[in-house]
Amino acid sequence: MAKTKTGFTGGGPRFFLGSRVAADSATSQRQLGLLWGTVAVVLLMLATRAERLAQTLPACTFKSLVGIPCPTCGVTRATLALADLDFGVALLINPLATLLVMALVGGGLVAGMSALRGRPLREPRWNLRPAERLGLVIVIVANWAYLVSRGI
C-alpha cells in the first residue's frame, strides 16, 4: 500500500482516530444532556420562587421607549403562569415563549434522563434550509403581531 500525506497506510489509524472522536463526542453529548437536565430541574425548583424573582426584573425598555411590546414581551409573565401550571393563561400572554419554555424544560428532563441511562443526545441540525428560515421568521413575526394586537 502507498503512504498518504499523513504517513499512514491503509485504514487502521483512521479507524482508531475516528473511534476516539466518536467516543469524545458521545461523552460531550452525555455531559450536555446532564447539563440540560440539571438546568431543567433547577428551573422547576425555582418555579416556587418565580414570583419573588420576577419582581426584581426591570420593565421592558423597548416598550417604554417605543410604546409597543418587543418580540419577547410577556415571557416573564408567561413563565410565571407556567410555574403556577396555568397553561391557558401562559399561552394567552405569549404563545411562542410558552411553547419554548415548555420545550426547554421538557427537553431538558428527557435529555437528562437519557444521559443518566448512557444514551447520547442527537446533535441538532443548525443549518436550516431557506424555507425553514422563512417559516421561523414568519412564526416570530406572527407572535410579535399577536403581542402588539393584544397590547401585552
One pLDDT digit (tens) per residue for the chain, 152 residues: 454 454 444 444 444 444 445 556 778 888 888 888 888 888 888 877 777 777 888 888 899 999 999 988 988 889 888 888 899 999 999 999 999 999 989 988 888 888 888 887 777 777 889 999 999 999 999 999 999 999 87
Alpha carbons 125 and 11: distance in angstroms, whole number: 29
> What type of residue sits at position 146?
Y
Q: Is 121 helix (H, G, I), strand (E, B) or coil?
A: coil
pTM score: 0.71
Alpha carbons 91 and 117: distance in angstroms, whole number: 33
> What type of residue sits at position 150?
R
Q: Where are the alpha helices (DSSP H) in the chain?
A: 12-46, 50-54, 61-66, 75-83, 87-93, 95-116, 130-150
Extract the C-alpha cell encoding 81.
403562569
Alpha carbons 107 and 58: distance in angstroms, whole number: 29
Q: What residues does each domain of the chain span?
A: 24-150
Q: What is the pLDDT of residues 127-152, one digit of tens each?
A: 889 999 999 999 999 999 999 999 87
